Amino acid sequence: MADPNAKAILEVKDLRMYFPVKSSGIIRRTIGHVQAVDGVSFQVPAGGSLGLVGESGCGKSTTGRLITRLYEPTGGSINFDGKDITKTSARGLKPLRREIQMIFQDPYTSLNPRHSVGAIIGAPLAIHNILPKNKILPRVQELLEIVGLNPEHYNRYPHEFSGGQRQRIGIARALTLQPKLLVADEPVSALDVSIQAQVINLLQDLQDEFGIAFLFVAHDLAVVRHFCPEVAVMYLGKIVEIADRETLYNRPNHPYTQALLSAVPDVKQAAVGGRRERIRLEGDVPSPINPPSGCRFRTRCPLAQEICARVEPPLLQIGKRHKVACHFAGELGKHPDKPVTASLLGVDDSGTPDPGASPSTDVGNEPGYSDTWFDLERRTMASA
Ligand SMILES: Nc1ncnc2c1ncn2[C@@H]1O[C@H](COP(=O)(O)OP(=O)(O)O)[C@@H](O)[C@H]1O
Ligand code: SF4
Ligand SMILES: [Mg+2]
């Protein structure tokens, strides 16, 4: 098990990606932006894994693509293995491509159907001039064996394999250059349930054996539960809650996390007082072109009050390894009546700025955890 206090191999701070929306017609002007990722901060410890979870469209894949630098971010910073890679030029990205690899969701479209499996897995070795030609095949066969495929099948084509086997090929390709970080974008979502566990077990074995760090993207909390010691929940381009696994699954404090968890059947019920009622979220996810003011979740939140429309809740650290962005943060059924954030933000309970207040300036967007945090029950700062 990776040490949760290990040095971060990846640190992302206030990351933003706004895609321009163009008008139709001959002169295509920019008429707005899709705020796909809007101020996201987190760390992935070396050899560890962070789960990134949220409904479709919340910005998970965009976050993954920013980290692999398939996109240049609109704002914020990405630090990988001690280097700032936010603005690395195309040339500087070549060595980076060796160290950060991606596994994609769809094993049917992510492999070139006209190339043999050996060519697919061996291509990075040739491109990066890593091995002489006669050493490539033995390495390909070794990789096939590592991912549980027959090493003699190197000259077969992707269509000759099942979905689960293809995903193993995608994993072998990602391992070819011995990366330090794998961004796995819903790596099992397209697979049969019976195959999902096998592929997750393979990833787990690879992590244990090679010490690869993972950013593991999923759309539901069940998938990352066994893989990730730390999990971040995203909603409309922002992280709304992030915590160590035990805290997030047993004592979630954000209404959105609580709703997502209520749909997961295998989560321990005891911690929240017996059987968990399924919480149904009303309505659809709003458009990231015009997200709601204040808290983005407010249009679907059963607890929303006036302050939620006026003031954005900061991602507040409320425990040793627990942060949540909600004015009414609290365990299920124990949410406070008054906003916990008001005094920190210098507003009254309805969110109106209080002229006499002295708001806390360090309610920030820093990645990682601080040694002190805001104790929700006592409403004061606390430390271990
Ligand atoms: N290249 C792009 N251009 C414009 N909008 C995009 C682009 N890629 C993603 N988006 C939009 O950004 C939002 C987040 O998308 P994505 O990161 O794919 O979410 P997820 O992976 O969580 O389903 C969505 O509203 C999506 O439509
Ligand atoms: S800040 Fe308000 S709207 Fe947002 S999650 Fe909390 S209670 Fe709901
Ligand atoms: Mg996606």
pLDDT at 173: 94
Ligand 1 test: best mutation among 17, 19, 37, 240, most atoms within 8 Å of CB?
19
Q: Half-sphere exposure of residue 157, counting CA atoms within 13 Å on the CB side?
A: 5
pLDDT band (50, 70, 90) for residue 270: very low
Segment 284-296 mean pLDDT:
94
d(CA 181, CA 47): 8
CA of 47 to the centre of ligand 3 (A): 23
Residues with Cβ within 6 A of ligand 2?
Answer: 255, 295, 297-298, 301, 303-304, 308, 313, 326-328
CA of 183 to the centre of ligand 3 (A): 12
CA 64 to ligand 1: nearest atom? 17
d(CA 165, CA 159): 10
Ligand positioned closest to the Cα atom of 252: 2
Residue 218 Cβ inside 6 Å of ligand 1? The answer reads no
Give 12's strand partners.
42, 78
Give 381's strand partners.
374
CA of 151 to the centre of ligand 1 (A): 37
- When the pLDDT of each residue in the chain is averaged and rounded to a whole number, the result is 91
Closest CA to ligand 1's atom 25: 57
Segment 312-328 mean pLDDT:
96
CA 234 to ligand 1: nearest atom? 22
CA 302 to ligand 2: nearest atom? 8
Segment 210-224 mean pLDDT:
94
Segment 253-282 mean pLDDT:
75
Residue 306 clears pLDDT 60, i.e. is over it: yes
Closest CA to ligand 1's atom 20: 57
Closest CA to ligand 2's atom 1: 326
pLDDT band (50, 70, 90) for residue 135: very high
CA of 33 to the centre of ligand 1 (A): 11
Residue 32 Cβ inside 6 Å of ligand 1? The answer reads no
Exposed, middle or buried: residue 132 (CB in 10 Å: 0-12, 13-18, 19+)?
exposed
Segment 267-285 mean pLDDT:
66
Residues contacting residue 191 through CB under 8 Å, at least 6 positions apart: 107, 163, 164, 167, 199
d(CA 278, CA 258): 9
CA of 334 to the centre of ligand 3 (A): 33
CATH domain 8-22+31-231 topology: Rossmann fold (3.40.50)
Residue 65 clears pLDDT 60, i.e. is over it: yes
Lowest-confidence segment of 143-152, 301-310, 372-381 by average pLDDT: 372-381
The domain spans of the chain are 8-22+31-231, 279-384
pLDDT at 127: 85
Q: pLDDT tens digits, residue range 336-349?
A: 999 999 988 999 99
Radius of gyration of the chain (CA): 22
CA of 32 to the centre of ligand 1 (A): 14
- Which stretches of 6-103 are DSSP H helices? 60-67, 90-99
Ligand 1 test: best mutation among 17, 28, 34, most atoms within 8 Å of CB?
34
What is the model's pTM? 0.94
Residue 262 Cβ inside 6 Å of ligand 1? The answer reads no
CA of 51 to the centre of ligand 3 (A): 13
CA dihedral 107, 233, 308, 295 (to 10 degrees): -40
pLDDT band (50, 70, 90) for residue 326: very high
CA 37 to ligand 1: nearest atom? 14
Residue 19 Cβ inside 6 Å of ligand 1? The answer reads yes
d(CA 54, CA 57): 8
Q: pLDDT tens digits, residue range 151-208?
A: 999 999 999 999 999 999 999 999 999 999 999 999 999 899 889 999 999 999 999 9
Range among 128-142, 314-328, 353-367 with highest mean pLDDT value:
314-328
